[in-house]
Amino acid sequence: MSFQSFSVLAQAPGPGGILSQPWFPLLLMVAMFYLLIIRPQQKQRKELEARIASMEKGDKVITNSGLHGTVHQISEKTVTLKPGGENVFLTFEKSSIQVVNKLKSTKDEEKADDAKK
């Protein structure tokens, strides 16, 4: 065999289809990154934003700094919390709320009691 026959063999495309393309693993990694990391974080952020938007007086919340308190007053951008002491009120930005535990209304509790009977 001559030198030319080896160079022709090296340039010949091999079988394998789309899986052997050099961009396919990169595309697969980007898709998995989106499905495993970005999408769940977006979903959690939207759920938290919805809970903050539906926050009411009396709901229990936890701030980013770890302060537990009860919602006393809500304005457009801020929330006033009562951390537990008498006549102690702290004002926080709504964006600093990390967890919102909705206060169950008495109507919900009555419905649950009626369903048990």
pLDDT digits (tens, 9 = 90+) for 21-65: 788 889 999 999 999 999 999 999 999 999 999 999 999 999 999
Mark whether 80 and 97 lie in a shared domain: yes
The pTM of this model reads 0.63
Domain of residue 97, CATH code? 2.30.30.100
Q: Is the pLDDT of residue 13 over 80?
A: no
Mark whether 37 and 87 lie in a shared domain: no
Mark whether 65 and 104 lie in a shared domain: yes
Residue 4 inside a domain? The answer is no
Residue 11 inside a domain? The answer is no
Strands of the sheet with 68-74, listed across from one edge: 90-93, 78-82, 68-74, 60-63, 97-101
CB of 79 within 8 A of CB of 71? Answer: yes
Mark whether 43 and 66 lie in a shared domain: no
Residue 30 inside a domain? The answer is yes
Name 36's Cβ contacts closer than 8 Å, sequence gap at least 6.
none
**How does strand 68-74 pair with strand 60-63?**
antiparallel
Q: Is the pLDDT of residue 112 over 80?
A: no
Give the pLDDT mean for 74-97. Answer: 93
Distance between CA atoms of 76 and 64, rounded to whole angstroms?
Answer: 19
